[in-house]
Copies of this chain bind each other. A is one copy, B any other.
């Protein structure tokens, strides 16, 4: 009963992993973030507490493997991690928008394809993820708000 039951620690334990300080910090950090973070961003935050880059990578991957995080690659050669909201087992992921100019990632909640597009893609395979890329509103307008 050392220091009262920590619910987040329990979540980690229930997933089959040991609730180490590094894992707890990683999970909390990502749960506070509003957008996916890269390994670099995460490990930089954890470096203060003496956590090694490799450990950060392993924990990010481990937590993703058990479903507490989601690991995605949005097309700029960098893995990003985000906390899975809700029950890990029914996590289906959601679409993302990556700004090719500034690298900002936005989580979208329900991008849908037209019926025709769905029919076309069904001939290829089963879609599990949709990624949109382009210029975010911050980067798009080189001129003012009005042309």
Contact = CB atoms under 8 A, between A and B. Distances in A.
**Copies of this chain, count:** 2
B111 A120 contact: yes
Interface residues of A, number: 38
A24 B116 CA distance: 38
Given A126-B140, A127-B132, A137-B125, A112 B106 contact: no
Interface in A78-116: 97, 99-100, 106, 108-114, 116
A128 interface: yes
Contact of A128 (B109, B112, B121, B134): B134
A64 to B, nearest CB: 14
Interface stretch (A38-46, A50-58, A69-77): A69-77
